[in-house]
Structure 1
Amino acid sequence: MVRFKMRKKDCRVSLKGLPKGVRGPLTIDTKTFKLTPKLGVVDVRKKGVDREEFEAFCKQN
């Protein structure tokens, strides 16, 4: 199980994983866009970890 430290600023949320993985902590940045009153888009990006670790996290959760 991964725990996260969360930072919020405007429409952005940054999650930094605890404990650290092989290449540092799993860090996920999200940005929310409101396109219409009923439609929004969330952009999710990984930072600071290799792709395999990120994909394994997504499959588990």
Structure 2
Amino acid sequence: MRQPTLALSGQKIQTLIEQITRDALKRAALAPTYMAALDITGAALIAVAMLVKTEARHG
């Protein structure tokens, strides 16, 4: 069963991507190890990819 998705405007998508990126950079900079920083940035990349993929499918 597909989960309902919320259609967002291009500007809202851009704002979300900027927020995800900004948060990831802050968290990665404060990470205790470089491996933790890589995990944080990798998770952010996955989040952005899923957001863009979902929007491309529905936008």
- Larger % of helix: which? 2
Q: TM-score, normalising length from structure 2?
A: 0.26
Flag the structure with higher strand content. Answer: 1
Structure 1 length normalisation: TM-score? 0.26
